[in-house]
Amino acid sequence: MADEFFEDDDPYFLVSDRLDAGEAPGKVHAWAAKQRRKAKDEVLRSQWDEALRYIEEEHPELTR
């Protein structure tokens, strides 16, 4: 169920959820980058870009 701030399919929510669950940041980053490449809509690609930036800011050792 989505809360008042995020939709269940929002890239930022999906990334945050995986990181909060303890998944390795590198794996989450790789998964998010793959999802971004698969996105056909420009708005959705932009949302994935934002999610990727979030991971990179929280884990600067990662690169795109």
Burial 46-56 (b: 16+ CB within 10 A, else e): ebbbebbebbe
Q: What is the pTM of this model?
A: 0.82
pLDDT per position as a tens digit, 7-56:
668 999 999 999 999 999 999 999 999 999 999 999 999 999 999 999 99
25 contacts 19 by C-beta, under 8 angstroms:
yes
* Alpha-helical segments (H) within the chain: 11-20, 25-38, 42-58
